[in-house]
Amino acid sequence: MAFLDHPPVPPRSEASDGTTTGWRGRARKPLIGLLVCVLLLGVASLAGILWLQAKVEGNIQRLPDTFTGLTDRPSKPTTGAAADAMNILVLGTDTRSETATTGAEAPGWKPGQARSDTMLLVHLDGDRRAASVISIPRDSWVDIPGHGKGKVSWAYSFGGPSLTVETVETMTDVRIDHLAVVDWEGFKALTDAVGGVDIDIPETVYDSARGVRWEAGRHHLDGEHALLYVRQRYGLQDGDLDRVARQQAFFRTLLEQALAQELRTNPDQVLDLLDLFAKHASVDDDWSTTQMARLAVSLRNLRTADINYLTVPTNGTGMVGDQSVVHLDPSSDLWPAVRQDRMAQWTEDNQDLMTPDVVR
């Protein structure tokens, strides 16, 4: 099955409206910088929290006006557990802009040359006892406000982070609280920082796009090989859906191995990982480091076993014209469960939809 890597470039009039932000780079890779940051902050010492506010603030870049101008957004619950829940949209990019973002547009961003091929919605339960990492396949065929139907990854190309948030909110009716964009160099650095990750491959597969043959068995992956692993879709039975499953399995293993290496009792290593995050990430300009620190404290009791990984339910893949797409399942009750902060019960009732430990 052929996958088209580039969305059509929108007309100039569409690309120059007020929804674009100034972020450049092609979005490609699944990166867990934000997830690692958030979870490891929960085990950091008070010194680590203070370091976050001083050190991270100086390195991390801000995405200006991410939520400015967005209208008709899903409402944020004001009562019950859902009022305290948090939904963070995480996007992956090839590069972080080398120029600080200080205005509505950052230098170098051009319509049609930026993609968000990896998209994760991280839901933190209101009581902070559990979290869900939900992958949205890049080829999901959805409504993109102002642009009609298209792949969800095209929203980033058409209008940057702001339009991506609007598209995901339109698709899910879930209000996004914060946005993080992390580059894939950070992904490699995080993998290498924990000494690599062990991954089990159940059967031999060949990636024809990169000429890589993966033999069945256990593989110890450094950052460079980890990228090859999580990028593969050619040679896998379900293409992009299998790639998403690989990404999630890798994220889980990386986090488990990181915590197993005594990060809970080694503040210096925690700070090193946070430093990597800051150098490779950008977040919305409404998310202060003080807020991040408070979130970290609220997550101090969260464990890896409390994190569920899944892909939004789909009706499989298909073709729309010459586009290979993923059809989302409109009958799924996943998004209502997220909105109402009922993910603990939802995951219990849908164990068959959770990402297994070993994937293709």
Supply angle C-alpha 219, 224, 227, rounded to 5.
Answer: 80
Supply angle C-alpha 121, 133, 264, rounded to 5.
Answer: 120
**pLDDT at position 267:** 59
CB contact at 8 A, 308 and 354? yes
**pLDDT at position 147:** 96
**pLDDT at position 8:** 54
Which tokens hold the place of 312?
Answer: 């939004």
pTM above threshold 0.85: no
DSSP assignment of 252-299: HHHHHHHHHTTGGG-HHHHHHHHHHHHHHEEEETT--HHHHHHHHHHT
**Looking at residue 171, what DSSP letter applies?**
H
Q: Three-state SS for 84? A: coil
Which tokens hold the place of 116?
Answer: 């968000």
Let me know how long the chain is. 360
Strand pairing category for 281-284 and 178-183: antiparallel
CB contact at 8 A, 285 and 65? yes
Which tokens hold the place of 271?
Answer: 């700070």
**pLDDT at position 30:** 33
**pLDDT at position 190:** 84
**Mean pLDDT, consecutive 10-residue segments, the chain of 360 residues?**
43 37 35 44 51 66 91 93 95 57 38 72 96 95 97 90 96 96 82 90 96 96 94 90 92 80 59 73 87 79 89 94 94 97 96 94
CB contact at 8 A, 339 and 333? no
